[in-house]
Amino acid sequence: MLRKIFFPLLMGVAGCAVLIALGTWQVQRLTWKTAILDQITATIIAPPVALPANPDPVADEYLPVMVSGQIIGAPLSVLVSTADNGAGYRTITAFQTDAGRTIAADFGFLSLDDRGAALPTGQVTLTGNLLWPDEVDNWTPEPDVATGIWFARDLPAMARALNAEPILLVARNIDPVSPTVPMPVGIEGIPNDHLGYAITWFMLAIGWALMTGLLIFRTLRQKDA
């Protein structure tokens, strides 16, 4: 009898062990990812500092910064859709700081009908976070140069179009008030699906164990018969 159930039992134990190990690994990944997200959140909401002389895309990602200066030139519009406001545009402008540097600044959302609304003139103070967005893939359409409409925040290309440094400051607060609605940096777009994966693996382990038990039960009943 033991010989007949040995192989199903072996496969059951091995399968459950693999599935439980995968679930445990996802729990560990969840802990790791949560710690990273907590660190990013702490960085985002930290007190703002002056714009670094040579910001690093890795070390200074999400760095809170405050700068004063003025908008120069015509803005670029990035087509977006938001849950709260529907379809519209991110408004990206060239921003010349009081120190004489020109960077790209994300002033936030304008509805489709409000595109072209006058942005603040004169001295403007921006508080926000540095970001090097990675939004371009093989399916991203080329920008419509004639209308100034873009389909992703392609920072190197936008910096060239704005004649600015490839540095993007995403505004959290704008003084004086702008007609745009700020779309500040956050962790909402960073995926953290490890809990769901862990539950899936553990449920598969339970299913595997139940199927193994059923197979052994049927094997023993056949033996008795």
Tens-digit pLDDT profile for residues 66-96 = 999 999 999 999 999 988 888 999 999 999 9
The pLDDT of residue 49: 96
Which stretch, 118-127, 139-148, 187-196, has highest mean pLDDT? 118-127
What is the mean predicted confidence (pLDDT) over 171-180?
Answer: 96
State which amino acid sits at residue 223: K
pTM, two decimal places: 0.81
pLDDT tens, position by position, 105-143: 999 999 999 998 999 999 999 999 999 999 998 899 999
Residue 82's pLDDT is 86
State in Å, rounded, how far the first CA of the chain is from the last one: 13
At the top level of CATH, the class of 63-175 is: mainly beta
pLDDT beyond 60 at 23: yes
Domain ranges in the chain are 2-40+191-224, 63-175
Is the pLDDT at 2 greater than 70? The verdict is no
Burial of 100: CB neighbours in 10 Å, binned 0-12, 13-18, 19+: exposed
Q: Is residue 225 pLDDT above 60, yes or no?
A: no
When pLDDT is averaged across residues 189-206 and rounded to a whole number, the result is 92
pLDDT tens, residue by residue, 200-224: 999 999 999 999 988 888 877 775 5
Checking if the pLDDT of 154 tops 80, the result is: yes
Confidence of residue 146 (pLDDT cuts 50, 70, 90): confident
The residue to which tokens 């729990």 are assigned: 27
Bridge partner list, 71: 95
Is the predicted pLDDT of residue 17 greater than 60, yes or no?
A: yes
- Is the Cβ–Cβ distance between 210 and 39 less than 8 Å? no
For 199-218, b/e burial (b = at least 16 CB within 10 A) is eebbebbeebbeebeebeee
What distance lies between CA 159 and its chain's CA centroid? 21
Share above pLDDT 90 across residues of the chain, in percent, rounded to a whole number: 79
